[in-house]
Structure 1
Amino acid sequence: MTDAFARTPSTAVLPAQRLLLFGATGDLSQRMLLPSLFSLHAEKLIGPDLRIIGTARSELNDETFRAAAAEALDKFLSPEARVPDAIPSFLDRLHYVPLDASKPESFSALNAMMGGDPNQHTAIYLSTAPSLFGSTIAGLQSAGLDGPNCRIGLEKPLGHDLASSAVINDAVAAAYAEGQTFRIDHYLGKETVQNLLALRFGNRMFEPLWNAENIEHVQITVSETVGLEGRVSYYDGVGALRDMVQNHMLQLLALVAMEPPARFGPRSVRDEKVKVLRSLRRIDRATAAHETVRGQYTDGAVGGKAVPGYIDELKQPSNTETFVAVKAHVDNWRWHGVPFYLRTGKRLPNRHSEIVIQFREVPHSIFAGRGAVLQSNRLIIRLQPEENIRLMTMAKEPGLDRDGIRLREVPLDLSLTTAFAGFRRRIAYERLLLDLIEGDPTLFVRRDEVEAQWEWIDAIRDGWEAANVTPRPYSAGTWGPSAAIALTERDGVHWND
C-alpha cells in the first residue's frame, strides 16, 4: 500500500480495467453512481478501456441496461455536469449480467462476461443487504474475482453492532486483504470535509489554537427535514444512533479531533483517526441516561407543510429513535475537558450539516469599563447544503463612541461556492469511485476504525436498555426534545440553530 496521496497511481497500485457494480439497477446507482461515473468519463479521468459491468436480479441485457442508465442520467445529472456528446461513448462502456447474489452458482455468467482473466485489475462495488455478504463473497471467489489484482468497495450498512460487523468483515477478509478492502462513508468524499483538513493543517493560524486551552466546546449537527421516505424496512430497528452517529458523525468528530498526520496518505490519516475513536470516553449504563437524549417525532409541520408522526408513517408502534443528542469526550491531552455535542434527527426545521468550534473567551477584556460586551469567537464549518466556512469575530461599530465603545459580532465568510465559482460542485461519490478505481484508500474507513466506532455505540445502546431510556416525543419541525436543549444548557451552552 502506498502512503502518498496522488491522483496518479503509483507503480504498486494500478487503475482498474473493469468495474463491477452490484445493485446496478437500484436507487443509489441511478442517483449517484451512474451520474458520478459519467462525470469521470466526460472529463477523461478514467481510462478509455475501463469496462463498467452492472449486475442485479433484474432480467436486463446490455441494451436495456444502457437505456435505463441513459434515463437515469437524464433525470439525475446536474445541469453543469451535462455533456451530451459524451453520453453515447459512456453508454458503450456499460455491460450487464443478471445475477442472484444469494446463489453463488449463478456467478458463472459473470465469470464469462468478465473474460476469466485473473491478471486484469478489477474494482468491485458492493451494495447489497448484509444477509447476502457471505454468498456474494463466495460467488466472487468462484468467479476468480478474489485475487491480488482485485479490490472491493463496501457500502453500508456493515452490520448493526460490533458482533455482526465482525461477521461481515471476517467474511470479506477471507477473500480480500485489508489493503484490498474499501469501506465507504460518503461523507468523507465531500469537499468541505476535506477542507476541514486543509483548514487545520494548511494554515498556521488555526492548529496552535486547536486544543483544550483555547476551545471551549465543539458541536456537530446533521439535521434532516425528511421522514422515512421509503426507508421503512431499513430504518425502523436501526435508528438515528446507528444510521448517522456510528459512521458519519464519528468520522467528522475524528477529523476535528485527530492529531496532525505525518502526511496526507491512507496510513497516516487513518492511524490518527483511530486514535481519536479509541480515546472516546465510554458512555455506559451509569451515564447513558445523563449524557444522551433519544427522541421520536410526532406530527407537526416542516417547511410550512403538515407532516405525520413517525408512528403514523410506520403504521405500528416502535421504540426506534429518529433523533439523538450525545455529549461526548475525547480523553487525551489535547481535548481534556472539552465536550463534543453531537445531534442528528429527522423532521427537523431545516437540512444542514455543520461543525461549530466554540473558542474560549479572551483572558482579559480591555473594553470591560467602556460598556462593550465581547462574544467568544466561533468557527462554523457548513458541509451542506451550501458549503462555507464562517469565522465569527468582534469588530467595532462605526461612531465617535461618546456613550461608550460598541462592539459587534461580524462574520468573516469563505463561501466555497463563491471562492471557487469556476469549479463544478461534485458529488461525493465521484471522488470515492475514482479513488476505488485508482486504488487510493485514504478516504475510506479501515476495519479498526469501524470496530472502535461500534464499541462506543454498543455501550450507549446497552446503557439505554439497562436504564430503560426510551425515545422522547418531539413535534416535527422542531429541534428535537426539550431534553436535548437541557443537555447543553446545563453546561451554559446553546445549540447553534
Structure 2
Amino acid sequence: MTRPAPASLLTIFGATGDLAQRMLLPSLYSLQAEQLLPPGLRILGTARSELDREGFSTLVANTINQRIPAAERNDAALRALLGRLDYCAASVDNDASMQALAAKVGELRNGDVLYHLSTAPRFYVPACHALAAHGAADAQTRVMLEKPIGKDLASADAINDGVAQVFDEERVYRVDHYLGKEGVQNLIALRFGNALFEPLWNSVHIEQVQITVAETVGVEGRGDYYDDSGAMRDMLQNHLLQLLCLVAMEPPARFGPNSVRNEKIKVLRSLRAIGRDDVAGESVAGQYTAGAIDGVAVPGYASELGRDSRTETFVALRAHVDNWRWSGVPFYLRTGKRLPARCTEIYIQFRKVPYSIFGGRAATDMQPNGLLIRLQPEERIELDLMAKTPGLDRSGLRMSQVALDLDFHQEFANARRRISYERLYLDAIEGNGTLFVRRDETEAAWQWVDTILDGWRSANHAPKPYPAGTWGPSAAVSLIERHGHSWRE
C-alpha cells in the first residue's frame, strides 16, 4: 500500500477540550520546536466555543506556558506554532456551522487533510457524515478516532460502519495512546532488534506473563463516563490487550502498518474465550472502598460517584493464547484505580533451570529469571539473573538474584521525555498507520471482552470490595496463587 502524502492541514475537533490542552497542543508545540512538522502544515481548531483566531491563539499560548516546562519553552517555536493556527466554531448538530467549517477547510488546505476527532465517540459518525455532506471528506482526507470505539461489539460495529461510509479503512487511524509511548516502542525494539530474546520467547522457556496497569487516582470528575464503562471497557479492552498483542505476536515481516497489525489480530483471535462457565475461576472484578493513598485518606468509589454502583474499578484475568508459541503459558492481566502505586509494566518470568548443580542452601536460593519492561512512570528494562552471593560459607555457594538494569533516564540522560501524541501525530500527519489500531482488532478485542461481561451478567457477578491503597480484592491473589504464581508487587 502506498503511503499517502503528508497532510497540509490538521483539523482538531474538540480543540478547546481537556485532552487537547493536556496532550494534543503540547505535543504539537514539541514537534514544532524540533522542526518535525511539515513546513506548510496549517492547524485548524474547532469546537463549540465561540472563539476567533486570536482567542484560540491565546488559549494555545496559555496552554503551552502552563504545560511545557520553562527549560523547554522557546519563544520562536511558540510564535511559529501560533502562525500555523486558525479557528472555526462548529457543532455537528448545527448544519450551518459544519458548512462554514467545511468552507474553512477548503480555504486552508493545500493537499491532504487530517481530521482528529478528539470528541465523545457519539459524535464520530455525525461529524464524518457532515464533512462528507459538505464536500470536505474526499479521497485526500483521513481521520483519527479516539478510544473508546463503542462500549461493546455492537456499538463498535455501528461506529465503524458509519465512519466507513465516508472514510476507507486505510484512511481511519484509531488511537490507543499507549502505542505512542516510548516504552511500548522499546518493547518492539527489544523483541525484534536483539538476537538474545527471540529464541527464548515461547512456552518452552517462559512460564508466565504478567501485565499490570495500576493507577492511584480515582474517577477524577469522570464519574458518569466511568460508571458506564468500568475498568474492563476503559482500560483492559484496549490498553492491556494491545500490550498483550505486542508481547505475544509473531515477528512481522517488516515494521509497517499491515505487517504489524496482521500479527496482532492473530493474537486476539487466538485468545481462549472466558465464557459463562469460566468467569468465576479466570476473572475477578473489584470496586474500591475508602482507604488511604500515600497516607492521605480517600473516599470509596460509591462516595465519589454519589450513589451505589456495580461498576468494577479493578479487573484481574487469567488469559491464554492458544497457539504453538504460547500454549500452556498463562497471561495474567491486572488493572485498577486507587491502587498503591502508579505503574504500567510487563513482567515475563522464565522457567526455572531444569536441574540445579548447587546443593545445600544454594539450591533453595534459586529463583527463575525474569524480564521486567516498565512503561511508566519511568521507562526501564530489568533482567533478573542469579549470581553468587559474595563471601564464604562452609555449606558451599550461596546464590542471590541480581538485576541488570537499563534505566532510560540515565542511559539517555539528554533525551526529553515525550508525550505519546508526539509520535502519533507525526505518524498520522505523514500517513503511517503502524501504531494505530485497525478495525478488525477493535472488533476481536470487543468480542473477547463481551464474552466475559456476559458471563458476569449471567452470574449476577458483583465486584468485590477492596480498600483504596491496596492491590485489589483478595480474590485476585487467589486467582494467581492457586496456579502456583504470585503477582509482582
TM-score (norm 2): 0.98
Q: What SS is found at the alignment partner of 2:208?
A: strand
Query: Do residues 261 (structure 1) and 252 (structure 2) align?
Result: yes
Q: What SS is found at the alignment partner of 2:7?
A: coil
Q: Which stretch of the first structure deviates more once superposed, 401-410 or 342-351? A: 401-410
For 2:72 and 2:427, the matched residues in 1 are separated by 19
Query: Do residues 251 (structure 1) and 261 (structure 2) align?
Result: no
User: Is the contact made by 2:9 and 2:108 (CA closer than 8 Å) also made in structure 1?
Assistant: no
Which residue, out of 388, 391, 397, partners 2:380? 388
1:388 maps to a residue whose letter is R
Shift of 1:406: 0.7
User: Is the contact made by 1:107 and 1:142 (CA closer than 8 Å) also made in structure 2?
Assistant: no
Show the counterpart of 1:5: none
Show the counterpart of 2:22: 31
User: Is the contact made by 2:137 and 2:166 (CA closer than 8 Å) also made in structure 1?
Assistant: yes
Shift of 1:369: 4.2
Q: Structure 1, residues 417-453: CA drift from partner, whole Å, max 9, x if none?
A: 1111121111000000111100000000000000000
For 2:126 and 2:211, the matched residues in 1 are separated by 38
Which residue, out of 340, 350, 354, partners 1:359? 350
Show the counterpart of 1:6: none
Which residue, out of 340, 350, 353, partners 2:341? 350
Runs of at least 5 residues in structure 2 that lack an aligned partner in the other structure? none
User: Is the contact made by 2:42 and 2:108 (CA closer than 8 Å) also made in structure 1?
Assistant: no
Q: Structure 1, residues 88-122: CA drift from partner, whole Å, max 9, x if none?
A: 12111111100012233421111222235887210
Shift of 1:156: 1.4
Q: What SS is found at the alignment partner of 1:491?
A: coil
For 1:366 and 1:104, the matched residues in 2 are separated by 77
Which residue, out of 402, 406, 422, partners 2:398? 406
Shift of 1:401: 3.3
User: Is the contact made by 1:116 and 1:144 (CA closer than 8 Å) also made in structure 2?
Assistant: no
Show the counterpart of 1:445: 437
For 2:367 and 2:316, the matched residues in 1 are separated by 25
Moved over 6 A (4+): none
For 1:285 and 1:363, the matched residues in 2 are separated by 37
Cα distance, 1:479–1:99 mapped onto 2, change above 3 Å: same
Which residue, out of 420, 423, 426, partners 1:428? 420
For 1:268 and 1:203, the matched residues in 2 are separated by 19
Which residue, out of 130, 143, 148, partners 1:139? 130
Query: Do residues 152 (structure 1) and 148 (structure 2) align?
Result: no
User: Is the contact made by 1:212 and 1:334 (CA closer than 8 Å) also made in structure 2?
Assistant: yes
Q: What SS is found at the alignment partner of 1:325?
A: strand
Show the counterpart of 1:379: 371
For 1:135 and 1:398, the matched residues in 2 are separated by 68
For 1:103 and 1:296, the matched residues in 2 are separated by 40
Alignment of 1:37-186 (within 5 A): 37-115=28-106, 120-186=111-177
Q: Structure 1, residues 31-77: CA drift from partner, whole Å, max 9, x if none?
A: 10000001111111012211100000000000001001111111111
2:92 maps to a residue whose letter is A
Q: What SS is found at the alignment partner of 1:20?
A: strand
User: Is the contact made by 1:104 and 1:142 (CA closer than 8 Å) also made in structure 2?
Assistant: no
User: Is the contact made by 2:124 and 2:145 (CA closer than 8 Å) also made in structure 1?
Assistant: no
Q: What SS is found at the alignment partner of 1:132?
A: helix
Q: What SS is found at the alignment partner of 2:437?
A: coil
For 1:384 and 1:133, the matched residues in 2 are separated by 30
Runs of at least 5 residues in structure 1 that lack an aligned partner in the other structure? 3-11
Query: Do residues 284 (structure 1) and 275 (structure 2) align?
Result: yes
1:437 maps to a residue whose letter is I
Which residue, out of 207, 218, 224, partners 1:227? 218
Q: What SS is found at the alignment partner of 1:246?
A: helix
1:287 maps to a residue whose letter is D
Which residue, out of 469, 482, 486, partners 1:477? 469
Q: Structure 1, residues 393-432: CA drift from partner, whole Å, max 9, x if none?
A: 0010122333321110000001111111121111000000
User: Is the contact made by 1:151 and 1:181 (CA closer than 8 Å) also made in structure 2?
Assistant: yes
For 1:455 and 1:50, the matched residues in 2 are separated by 39
1:56 maps to a residue whose letter is A
Shift of 1:176: 0.5
Query: Do residues 463 (structure 1) and 455 (structure 2) align?
Result: yes
User: Is the contact made by 2:205 and 2:351 (CA closer than 8 Å) also made in structure 1?
Assistant: yes
User: Is the contact made by 1:36 and 1:427 (CA closer than 8 Å) also made in structure 2?
Assistant: yes
User: Is the contact made by 1:118 and 1:145 (CA closer than 8 Å) also made in structure 2?
Assistant: no
Alignment root-mean-square deviation, CA: 1.2
**Identity level (%):** 59
Alignment of 1:290-309 (within 5 A): 290-309=281-300
Show the counterpart of 2:203: 212
For 1:175 and 1:233, the matched residues in 2 are separated by 31
Query: Do residues 193 (structure 1) and 184 (structure 2) align?
Result: yes
For 2:280 and 2:362, the matched residues in 1 are separated by 42
User: Is the contact made by 2:202 and 2:325 (CA closer than 8 Å) also made in structure 1?
Assistant: yes
For 1:16 and 1:86, the matched residues in 2 are separated by 20
User: Is the contact made by 1:197 and 1:255 (CA closer than 8 Å) also made in structure 2?
Assistant: yes
Q: What SS is found at the alignment partner of 1:343?
A: strand
- Number of residue pairs matched by the alignment: 488
For 2:238 and 2:411, the matched residues in 1 are separated by 30
1:311 maps to a residue whose letter is A
Q: What SS is found at the alignment partner of 2:88?
A: strand
TM-score (norm 1): 0.96
